[in-house]
Structure 1
Amino acid sequence: MGCYQSKSKSDNSKIVTVKDLKVQKSAFVQHNPNPFQEIYSIGRSIGTGAFGEVRRVVHRHANATRAAKIFRKDLAKTEEAKQKLNLEIDILKSLDHPNIIRIYEFFEDPKRFYIVMEHCNGGELFEEILKRQSFGEVHAAQIVQQILSAVAYLHDRGIVHRDLKPENILLEERGDILNIKLIDFGTAVFLEKNKTIRGALGTAYYIAPEVLTGYYNEKCDMWSIGVIIYILLSGVPPFDGKTDDDIIEKVKKGNYSFAGAAWRNISREAKDLISSLLCPPANRLTAPAALLHPWIAANASRSLPSVQVMQSALSNLKGFHNNNKLRDAVQTFIATQCISQQDTKDMREAFRAMDTNGDGKLSKEELLAQYVRTMGPEMAEVEVNRIMAEADSDNNGFIDYTEFLKATLDLKTAMSAENLKVAFDVFDKDGSGKISTLELKRILEGGAQTEKSLWNMIVNEVDLNGDGEIDFSEFQNIILSKL
């Protein structure tokens, strides 16, 4: 397949029952062997980088607007460049958070490599800062809370972004600061707990001093967030200069000021948070700790979804049943690959309202806090245990963002004939009109060790005519039953 080789860790555990098979959204982010321009029409450029550009593209069949990061192979010839590209794809595939850009698929041809992602109409946070000059504390805190939630999620998964800046934060729609997306994982790395990395990467204004002088860890991202908060509130960077070298010298010294008219009416709590981030790594707040800071708590209280939206989310969670592995996989595919940002907006707001600690996933305790409001503690405990058993497809002890979406979205609308045909074609790799056990295994196995009997069991549950494969009629029948 050329350049791409997954570096994801394999799950070497032996899976012997269908129940133990994990369905993950990353299974559906795949290399598309078709020519890129057969699938997408290419529009205007929306960004440039060292190895190519980002363009607005439209999926010809689905008429869906997306963004394609296009790498020129003649500018990325080294083995290191190829490894970085592989790593970026692996990281993007692994992420599932409402404030992190979503990847759909990737392509390769003799001259270029393409990564297809969500498209955001709102432009960069940097552009919004230029337009507004500065933000009030409430709006700034609402932006920062989302950044912290995304970064807490990354750090919990052992990922360091290493280039956090307003240019790498997009607004979903123009002026919509309540729905932002973290982008550009080209310099991101996996980092084991209590380990450090070396290598000066990042942008001068936002780079942490320890990145310039030696070894560092995920705390470098927290310094960058401190710089972003400073800029949001004042409109200017804490470390400035005529050249990158001038800026870097000031960063190394670490001296900044809250003097001047811009800071006259800024709260003590805001300055305290900045000071707790623009400090030596040993004293610097972690992302979870920053989410609990009084300034965030006082200013970033989210505008809650309507009562109807919350009731719908909680009711749909209660009614969700995951009693067929193929249906679960198809629901995962449709929730991640076919549903638009607009269609998920209400449930995204409900998810963020329920995610009270901002870590990007729902714990049993967070679910209990919702259900005890309408039923007794014992009944709520029983209900939440059932929800966890049904909705936690990857068995990690939490309801992740995609798991929440597929359990709460209007499935009767989502499971349209068009979406089901797209899903069927993803499984039917050879285009025979039938899904074989091997085709099912290639998508869902996810690196785990399985017995052939496991896949026979899944197919047999759906295979009404007994030919050992799943045709589209059988596929539709199992997916649409009991909706």
Structure 2
Amino acid sequence: MGCTSSKKRRIRSMSTFMLNQINELKILPSTFIKINDQPFTKVYQSGRTLGKGAFGEVRFCIHKKTAHRRAVKIFKKSKFSENNSLQKLFEEIEILKLLDHPNIIRAYEFFEDSEDFYIVMEHCKGGELFDAIVRRKCFKEHEAALIMRQLFSCLAYLHSKKIAHRDLKPENILLDDKSDCWGIKLIDFGAATHYENGQFLHGSLGTPYYIAPEVLADCYTEKCDLWSAGVIMYILLTGKPPFDGTTEVEILNHIKEEKYNSESTTSFKALSREAKDLIKHLLVPEKERISASDALEHDWIKNNFQEPPTSDEVIKASLSNLLGFKNENKIKDAIITFIVTQLASSQDLREAREIFRKLDQNGDGKLSREELENGFENLDGFSPEILDQIMDEVDTDNNGYIDYTEFLKAATDIRKFTSVANLQNAFDAFDKDGSGKISAEELKYVLKDENSEDIEMWNELIKQVDQNGDGEIDLKEFSDLLSKHF
């Protein structure tokens, strides 16, 4: 009782300026995606090679402390002969930090040493979609629609953020599991770039078979991604590329002509009218090409896309968790964000991820108030009035939507991830000097940077958690704060 009253007195006596500073502090997934100043080999055990490229390779790795299985993209500095190449790497890192979507690969942290740059990311045990195509030859329409709906969702999300991927191909799409197409991950943002409305992009980037004709002319927009998506859809359904040839020059010439193999191909003839129509709206001149949002509304996607079954009890539990979520303390929010984005595995979050995608009716990678209402309206005890409460508490960045990680933080039963080991690992991430206490300076470094706001705000945040009054947060105080979540 005394602690609660004391905390209320502190909040009442806090200046408006201080309150505004605290309220403006945003805890985002990118908050914890930083350069780790330790050597990569001290933190990770490197394993087998998963792939190779012009600038380096991708390897399987295991986090030594947590035993988490991850992948690391290693760039050889010696390969960067021009400043432009190095700048593209930094742009890729910044783009990865911005992305928060269930079907886009999550980055965890970065490393640098005298020879290499490292980007540590999710590991997807299902391998590349390309390998699945080789194994299966072609997919049934409902299976292809499942993959394409997720891919269009990625593109709608990226394009809403004014990011063009520019290198879509089956090799850059991973599967969570070999036997399950529900759970693709879009990877490799090395060619991705920001753009402005009406801006034309330049640079002949991409891969033969998948490259759009306007890219070959070196003047194009983000809709080059929709052409590549159309090629992927064609290959999924027929097992063959729409623009073929015996040489790369011949393939590119066919692409420039914009005439794909259609009625002359037996496998294409067998496709439904809706499938042919969607392909026809993708593999067309750029001005006639539909957007990713339009593709998500196409009849072929709507008629063939099947949600995985989710019980009412699971959905009710998610709603209950959303209602119980309180965004009342920035440090608690930071701890939960760290656990969900850095410690919970893809399998751990699978149930919540599926509910998010079920609620995301337009596939744009975020939840509107209307989508929440449509998703929960048939549940007992639901009323439109409680949506205001959910939006106020869960939309922590106040952008008017519930983003993917915001949903995971609020809809997941966080108790599943608060083992002694996870709490210790989370605490250690904040306790940078390993002293067993989190200081205001450490909190400032982890949640912002060493050159950010005046230390007084961080001292105030420490006071809200500091039970013994020593000006720092110990493991017990850290754990007790999270226990109040339940």
Aligned counterpart, 2:261: 257
Q: Is 2:402 aligned against 1:399?
A: yes
Q: Is the 8 A contact 1:14 1:448 kept in 2?
A: no
Q: Is 2:223 aligned against 1:225?
A: no
- What code does the residue aligned with 1:340 have? S
Aligned counterpart, 2:136: 132
Q: Is 2:108 aligned against 1:99?
A: no
Q: Is 2:111 aligned against 1:87?
A: no
1:448 Cα deviation from its structure 2 partner: 11
Aligned counterpart, 1:201: 205
State which of 329, 333, 336 in structure 1 corresponds to 2:334: 329
In 1, distance between residues paired with 2:376 and 2:196?
A: 36
Q: Is the 8 A contact 1:23 1:328 kept in 2?
A: yes
The percentage of counterpart residues that share the same residue type is 51
Aligned counterpart, 2:457: 454
Q: Is the 8 A contact 1:15 1:21 kept in 2?
A: no
* Aligned positions of 1:13-52 closer than 5 A: 16-52=20-56
1:371 Cα deviation from its structure 2 partner: 3.0
Aligned counterpart, 2:10: none
In 2, distance between residues paired with 1:57 and 1:453?
A: 40
Q: Is the 8 A contact 1:354 1:362 kept in 2?
A: yes
State which of 428, 451, 468 in structure 1 corresponds to 2:431: 428
Unaligned regions of 5+ residues in structure 1, if any?
1-12
Going from structure 1 to structure 2, the CA distance change for 1:106 and 1:243 (only over 3 Å counts) comes to: same
Q: Is 2:283 aligned against 1:278?
A: yes
Q: TM-score, normalised by structure 2?
A: 0.93
1:438 Cα deviation from its structure 2 partner: 2.3
Aligned counterpart, 1:288: 293
Alignment RMSD (CA, Å)? 1.8
Q: Deviations over 1:104-158 (max 9, x none)?
A: 1111111111111000111111111111111111111111000000111111111
Unaligned regions of 5+ residues in structure 2, if any?
1-16
Aligned counterpart, 1:5: none
Q: Is 2:339 aligned against 1:347?
A: no
Q: Is the 8 A contact 1:100 1:181 kept in 2?
A: yes
In 2, distance between residues paired with 1:59 and 1:398?
A: 33
Q: Secondary structure at the match of 2:383?
A: helix
Q: TM-score, normalised by structure 1?
A: 0.94
Q: Is the 8 A contact 1:304 1:353 kept in 2?
A: no
- What code does the residue aligned with 2:475 have? F
Q: Is the 8 A contact 2:100 2:106 kept in 1?
A: yes
Number of equivalent positions: 469
Q: Secondary structure at the match of 1:315?
A: helix
In 2, distance between residues paired with 1:67 and 1:318?
A: 35
Aligned counterpart, 1:305: 310
Q: Secondary structure at the match of 1:276?
A: helix
Q: Is 2:304 aligned against 1:320?
A: no
Q: Using the TM superposition, name which of 210-219 and 71-80 deviates more.
A: 71-80
Q: Is the 8 A contact 2:258 2:285 kept in 1?
A: no
Q: Secondary structure at the match of 1:98?
A: coil
Q: Deviations over 1:73-130 (max 9, x none)?
A: 1112421121111111111111111101111111111111111100011111111111
In 2, distance between residues paired with 1:14 and 1:221?
A: 45
Q: Deviations over 1:165-212 (max 9, x none)?
A: 011001111121111100111110111222121110000100011111
Aligned counterpart, 1:160: 164
Q: Is the 8 A contact 1:15 1:451 kept in 2?
A: no
Going from structure 1 to structure 2, the CA distance change for 1:236 and 1:332 (only over 3 Å counts) comes to: same
Q: Deviations over 1:280-322 (max 9, x none)?
A: 1111110001000010000013223222221221121111112
